[in-house]
Chain A
Amino acid sequence: MIISTSWLADYVQIPAGVDSLVERLLMSGLNHESTNTVGGDTAVEIEVTSNRSDCLGQIGVAREAAVLFGRPLHVPDPRPLEGAGRAAASVSVTIDAAQFCPYYSCRVLRGVRVGPSPAWLVERLATIGIESVNNIVDITNYVMFECGQPLHAFDLGRLRGGRIIVRRAVAGETFTAINHKSYTLTEQMCVIADVEGPVALAGVMGGAESEIGPQTVDVLLESAQFAPLAVRAAARGLVLSSPSSYRFERLPDPAAVDWASRRAAAMILDLAGGTLEQGVVEAGRLACSPAEIDLRPNRLEEVLGIGIPAERQRAILTGLGFVELGGVEDLAAGAVRWRAPSWRRDVWREIDLVEEVARIEGYAAIPENRPISARPIDLSARELAVRAVSEVLVAAGMCEAMTRSVVSEPLEAMASPWGQPEPLVVTPALVRGADRLRRTLLPSLLEARAGNMAVAAPHGELFEVARAYIGRKPATASGGDASPVEEPLLVAAVTAAGFAAAKGLAEALLARLGIGEAQAVTFRPIELDLFSRGRAAEIVLHGATAAERIGVVGEFSRRALDRAGLEATAAGVELRLDRLDFAIGRDRPLRRPSDYPAIERDLNLVVDEAIAWGDIEAAIRSGAGQLLERCRLVEIWKDAERLGHGRKSVVVSLRLRSDSGTLSSDDAKRAVDAVINSCSSHCGAVLR
């Protein structure tokens, strides 16, 4: 919204310069955008919040300025002289879409001379960035920018049948606007039609056929109320916003409907001559029911923390157009009942009155040193878990990425470790081609890794902590607290290294989360199209009652790498943090390091190739018992000649230590023998 300072001076004399005006408006709710000199005038562009349609006209801003500077406001009261003829005899109005148009009115002027506008009018419009068209069109624009109520002038001679019909557009109906572009309409839009077809897109733009031109002699001057939804549907649906649609979307002052019509009629008579026919032709009911609001005396202090004297409250509200109602009986002690002005439909509650007084008085006086009481709080388990895993991954040399929650179809379509319900599609797409909520973070991280490779930054070791979205939950009766979609919180990481490195990350993360000692975690082979066959595992947490998949780890399949645009290989891990935050806050028993020396023993076990390391390790642990401090795999090798076909050698290094004394070689021997026996009976191992 642009104001012209010379225009503003028609309504209020401000005893200060433009800078001071701008500052006061800024501090009372009209944000300053820019100030520019246009000819001999000054244009001040301000930002008007969506609740303040009253400030979409010069008069509304003048009213604010009058209150802020304590000056009187002068608003003209136009009384155009009516001549011969009755408007009702010239035209009739029917509303067939009351939900789109509650009220429609028009006046009729005959014998006008369409021509250029006088210089002062051209200049004022120029200040606010509006080009002059002709005197009639300029006047309708001028009045709209004066009071905020949009008007439209039709060439009455071009309206067919002497009838105005306000109706819902017929789907597929076409309409040529005054910009000479053709638009196809939908049923969500409202049109002004004559007996043959649409002549205006209600509240948005007039039609080319009935526009005012040099040939125009008779004018139909429309002033109406249109519903914001219908106007928005047309303006947005057709990408055809106008100053008129902008105002109708924000509900202009109902009292301005007739004022604007009178004002424009008077100006037309003045600047273009002609005769105004008697009366207003109207249809519908003008919706205007200003709120009556009680303001309790201490309410301001309760909200603001400072009091504002009653006389000052009264002066501000009166200046803004609120009317104090006398003789009210059912009123709390000391309270005042106010009636809101017609142009302030945003003010209808006591708290709204409080804001009105406060914003004019200014918030500067509100103290900024009120203490608040102390309160003990802690981070949630979830937050602690997020921090713990981030710490581990940063320490591992990885950078945290933030990738988009919405991905393209090829990335989403890959099997997620977390289920395969119907994809969740959003409209519009987040960015071009990306319209699906992701079910795993791994493909996004692969893409980010590919992006780094493309710019020759090969160290794309990345991780992310974010939600995924796994299908809509079945509707519950109560609604309440339940989130509508299952959103697991995931931590995922990708690395250039192979399976072992990714698994190492998984193990480090689980250890840091306090999982893996009291709770048994196992890695089991898994097939997912995200990973290479035979190079992936699911991570299963064995709880008291059930086993649950809480992670996956693996080397990515060529298909997954290709979809992400990655040539090199990569491995990754993803864990469900929302299932793994239960142990983070718990105190874990600390193990005091032993003061006694350790004994190291290496064993070379020969087993069948099919025996998994996990089984050998379990056998070693169960055999060694308490004394086993560490069991490390040194190497695995195969040699059909020396070991026999289908056999492998597994070299392990055991470290034995006691908490209570120095181990003797006999102690060590007993433990090692037990390990050998255990491996023999559980895995068929023989010592080499």
Chain B
Amino acid sequence: MATVSLDAFLAEIDRLRIDATAALSAAVDAPALEAARVEFLGAKSGRLKSIQKLLGGLAADDRPAGGRHFNELKQAVSDALEGAQQRLADGGESIEPIDVTLPGDPPRLGHLHPITQTIRRVQEIMSRLGFESVDGPEVEDQWHNFEALAIGAEHPARDPLDNFYLAVAQGTDPLLLRSQTSTVQIRVMERRKPPLRIVSLGRVYRPDTADATHYPMFHQVEGLLVEPGTTMAHLKSVLRMFASSFLGGDVHVRFRPSFFPFTEPSVEVDMEWGGRWIEMGGAGMVDPAVLEAVGYDPDSVSGFAFGLGVERIAARRYGVADIRDFYRNDVRFLSQF
């Protein structure tokens, strides 16, 4: 004959589960935990034991269900005890739980300028192809900025309005802020003999009015390779390797005829990006006049050169709509790179 109803039995079980979980998780040291263990799991008069005794008072039909619930309770209390023991073993007795959604303390991180990051990336890729990074003066003379690059005295590129000339005393060679980094290539070729593979990079200056796509100071990366037997096929292959590394995947390049005083033939270089042809820069075979100007024999060596506008590719790579942002030096902008 049943002396305890199943409902009353289950209510006892729920009550014990709540009490045990609360007591075990509130235990802040080993004695408190032991006291809780004795209270609930004690072999003689633990509360679990008392409930087990009630099991016999259930109606025969209710006993299997009651037994199942009892076993679940026993497991849950044992787990809670184990968890509590583990917690105390970790030394966490006095830890207040924290609001994990509170903000973290950010370390102050520095950032390289996106232009520097772009230049480094280009340098890195080109260095794998054997191109050495070189640097040279930004204030240049007429020879290195124009004449050696086959830009004659009457060429419009030499117009005072198109360059930043230095005010100097009469009779001295006029100087100007370089308008291209090809000047460095001339300087390296004057000093060294082929074979030669270099990338010259740095600031260049042209009097453009600053707008979203122009700034009077910007950066160029120019590659130069001079070795016997160099052809446009080598130029195209190197640019394709560069493009594939820089843009990722198997990128194709396309040449469109163009004109630069210091290369012949001269081409515009397009790279296929996202299903479209994107203009990346200019290139060509080094003009024989340039090779002669630095004392090379155009019949025994040939070479190619190419140039990329760093701001343009950085703007595209990072989605910068206005290149003036590169020169505002706003930390809110710089710290995103």
Query: A residues within 8 Å of B by Cβ?
Result: 26-29, 31, 49-52, 228-229, 232, 236, 249, 301-306, 349, 351-352, 354-355, 358-359, 363-364, 366-380, 382-383, 390, 393-406, 424-428, 430-431, 437, 448, 451-452, 455, 457, 459-462, 466-467, 469, 472, 475, 479-481, 483-485, 487
Could you tell me if B264 and A425 are in contact, using CB atoms closer than 8 angstroms?
A: no
Residues in B neighbouring A228, C-beta threshold 8 A: 154, 156
A–B Cβ pairs within 8 angstroms, 23 of them: A26-B256, A29-B258, A29-B259, A31-B258, A228-B156, A302-B302, A303-B265, A303-B302, A355-B266, A358-B232, A358-B265, A368-B239, A370-B237, A377-B197, A393-B110, A399-B110, A424-B166, A427-B160, A431-B216, A457-B332, A461-B108, A484-B141, A485-B175
Residues in A neighbouring B191, C-beta threshold 8 A: 481
Could you tell me if B207 and A428 are in contact, using CB atoms closer than 8 angstroms?
A: yes
10 shortest interchain CB distances as A-B pairs: A305-B233, A305-B231, A375-B130, A483-B137, A29-B257, A394-B110, A397-B108, A49-B259, A363-B255, A355-B265
Given contacts A399-B335, A426-B166, A487 and B267 within 8 Å (CB-CB) = no
Residues in B neighbouring A229, C-beta threshold 8 A: 154
Could you tell me if A426 and B141 are in contact, using CB atoms closer than 8 angstroms?
A: no
Residues in A neighbouring B54, C-beta threshold 8 A: none
Taking the closest CB of chain B, its distance from the CB of A290, in whole angstroms, is: 19
Residues in A neighbouring B332, C-beta threshold 8 A: 455, 457
Interface residue from A236, A355, A395 paired with B159 (Cβ < 8 Å): A236
Residue B173 at the chain A interface, CB threshold 8 Å: yes
Give the complex CA separation of A374 and B109 in angstroms.
38
Could you tell me if A427 and B133 are in contact, using CB atoms closer than 8 angstroms?
A: no
Given contacts A304-B232, A377-B130, A401 and B257 within 8 Å (CB-CB) = no
Residues in B neighbouring A232, C-beta threshold 8 A: 156, 159
Could you tell me if A366 and B173 are in contact, using CB atoms closer than 8 angstroms?
A: no
Could you tell me if A249 and B111 are in contact, using CB atoms closer than 8 angstroms?
A: no
Residues in B neighbouring A406, C-beta threshold 8 A: 164, 177, 217
Q: Which of A236, A372, A403 has the most CB of B within 10 A?
A: A372
Interface residue from A352, A366, A428, A459 paired with B264 (Cβ < 8 Å): A352
Residue B165 at the chain A interface, CB threshold 8 Å: yes
Residue B331 at the chain A interface, CB threshold 8 Å: yes
Give the complex CA separation of A26 and B257 in angstroms.
8
Could you tell me if B327 and A31 are in contact, using CB atoms closer than 8 angstroms?
A: no
Given contacts A366-B233, A425-B167, A459-B108, A401 and B266 within 8 Å (CB-CB) = no
Within 8 A of A (CB), among B197-254: 197, 203, 205, 207, 210, 216-217, 225, 231-234, 236-240, 252-254
Could you tell me if A372 and B130 are in contact, using CB atoms closer than 8 angstroms?
A: yes
Interface hit among B75-83, B85-93, B112-120 = B112-120
Residues in B neighbouring A375, C-beta threshold 8 A: 130, 195, 197
Given contacts A232-B156, A304-B231, A480-B190, A462 and B331 within 8 Å (CB-CB) = yes
Taking the closest CB of chain A, its distance from the CB of B280, in whole angstroms, is: 14
Taking the closest CB of chain B, its distance from the CB of A379, in whole angstroms, is: 7
Give the complex CA separation of A251 and B266 in angstroms.
20
Could you tell me if B129 and A372 are in contact, using CB atoms closer than 8 angstroms?
A: yes
Q: Which of A26, A28, A376, A377 has the most CB of B within 10 A?
A: A377
Taking the closest CB of chain B, its distance from the CB of A386, in whole angstroms, is: 9
Interface majority SS on A: helix, strand, loop or mixed? loop
Give the complex CA separation of A48 and B173 in angstroms.
33
Give the complex CA separation of A364 and B327 in angstroms.
38
Given contacts A304-B232, A427-B167, A366 and B255 within 8 Å (CB-CB) = yes
Residues in A neighbouring B140, C-beta threshold 8 A: 483-484
Residue B9 at the chain A interface, CB threshold 8 Å: no
Residue B127 at the chain A interface, CB threshold 8 Å: yes
Taking the closest CB of chain B, its distance from the CB of A29, in whole angstroms, is: 3
Taking the closest CB of chain A, its distance from the CB of B287, in whole angstroms, is: 7
Give the complex CA separation of A109 and B123 in angstroms.
66
Residue B34 at the chain A interface, CB threshold 8 Å: no
Taking the closest CB of chain A, its distance from the CB of B194, in whole angstroms, is: 12
Taking the closest CB of chain A, its distance from the CB of B43, in whole angstroms, is: 51
Residues in B neighbouring A364, C-beta threshold 8 A: 254-255
The chain A residue with its CB closest to the CB of B229 is A302
Could you tell me if B139 and A483 are in contact, using CB atoms closer than 8 angstroms?
A: yes
Taking the closest CB of chain B, its distance from the CB of A436, in whole angstroms, is: 10
Give the complex CA separation of A430 and B161 in angstroms.
12
Residues in A neighbouring B296, C-beta threshold 8 A: none
The chain B residue with its CB closest to the CB of A360 is B257
Residue B168 at the chain A interface, CB threshold 8 Å: yes
Could you tell me if B111 and A394 are in contact, using CB atoms closer than 8 angstroms?
A: yes
Could you tell me if B256 and A452 are in contact, using CB atoms closer than 8 angstroms?
A: no
Give the complex CA separation of A589 and B302 in angstroms.
45
Q: Which of A364, A400, A467 has the most CB of B within 10 A?
A: A400
Residues in B neighbouring A377, C-beta threshold 8 A: 127, 130-132, 197
Residues in A neighbouring B232, C-beta threshold 8 A: 303-305, 358, 363, 366
Residues in A neighbouring B234, C-beta threshold 8 A: 305, 370, 372
Taking the closest CB of chain B, its distance from the CB of A278, in whole angstroms, is: 37
Give the complex CA separation of A27 and B257 in angstroms.
7
Could you tell me if A485 and B159 are in contact, using CB atoms closer than 8 angstroms?
A: no
Q: Which of A303, A352, A378, A380 has the most CB of B within 10 A?
A: A303
Given contacts A380-B133, A430-B164, A462-B331, A437 and B110 within 8 Å (CB-CB) = no
Give the complex CA separation of A424 and B175 in angstroms.
10
Residue B39 at the chain A interface, CB threshold 8 Å: no
Could you tell me if B112 and A390 are in contact, using CB atoms closer than 8 angstroms?
A: yes
Could you tell me if A452 and B330 are in contact, using CB atoms closer than 8 angstroms?
A: yes
Residues in B neighbouring A405, C-beta threshold 8 A: 138, 177, 203, 205, 217
Could you tell me if A462 and B137 are in contact, using CB atoms closer than 8 angstroms?
A: no
The chain B residue with its CB closest to the CB of A466 is B203
Taking the closest CB of chain B, its distance from the CB of A416, in whole angstroms, is: 16
Could you tell me if A369 and B302 are in contact, using CB atoms closer than 8 angstroms?
A: no
Residues in B neighbouring A29, C-beta threshold 8 A: 256-259
Given contacts A372-B238, A428-B207, A430-B216, A484 and B175 within 8 Å (CB-CB) = yes
Could you tell me if A427 and B139 are in contact, using CB atoms closer than 8 angstroms?
A: no
Given contacts A28-B257, A367-B237, A355 and B110 within 8 Å (CB-CB) = no
Residues in B neighbouring A355, C-beta threshold 8 A: 257, 264-266
Given contacts A51-B259, A397-B109, A469 and B139 within 8 Å (CB-CB) = yes
The chain B residue with its CB closest to the CB of A27 is B256
Given contacts A390-B112, A403-B329, A425 and B166 within 8 Å (CB-CB) = yes
Residues in A neighbouring B328, C-beta threshold 8 A: 451
Taking the closest CB of chain B, its distance from the CB of A130, in whole angstroms, is: 24
Give the complex CA separation of A461 and B111 in angstroms.
11
Residue B136 at the chain A interface, CB threshold 8 Å: yes
Could you tell me if B233 and A459 are in contact, using CB atoms closer than 8 angstroms?
A: no
The chain A residue with its CB closest to the CB of B234 is A370
Give the complex CA separation of A152 and B299 in angstroms.
47
Residues in B neighbouring A374, C-beta threshold 8 A: 130
Taking the closest CB of chain A, its distance from the CB of B214, in whole angstroms, is: 12
Within 8 A of A (CB), among B262-283: 264-268
The chain B residue with its CB closest to the CB of A26 is B256
The chain B residue with its CB closest to the CB of A395 is B110
Residues in A neighbouring B302, C-beta threshold 8 A: 302-303
Taking the closest CB of chain B, its distance from the CB of A255, in whole angstroms, is: 21
Residues in B neighbouring A52, C-beta threshold 8 A: 259
Give the complex CA separation of A403 and B113 in angstroms.
11
Query: Chain B 283-298 against A: per-residue CB contact (8 Å), 1 yes, 0 no?
Result: 0010110000000000
Residue B70 at the chain A interface, CB threshold 8 Å: no
Residues in A neighbouring B254, C-beta threshold 8 A: 363-364
Could you tell me if A371 and B237 are in contact, using CB atoms closer than 8 angstroms?
A: yes
Residues in B neighbouring A483, C-beta threshold 8 A: 136-137, 139-140
Residues in B neighbouring A390, C-beta threshold 8 A: 112, 116
Interface residue from B173, B288, B327 paired with A351 (Cβ < 8 Å): B288
Residues in B neighbouring A51, C-beta threshold 8 A: 259
Give the complex CA separation of A102 and B116 in angstroms.
51
Taking the closest CB of chain A, its distance from the CB of B69, in whole angstroms, is: 59
Residues in A neighbouring B29, C-beta threshold 8 A: none
Residue B334 at the chain A interface, CB threshold 8 Å: yes
Interface residue from A430, A452, A480 paired with B217 (Cβ < 8 Å): A430
Given contacts A351-B264, A380-B133, A472-B168, A401 and B141 within 8 Å (CB-CB) = no
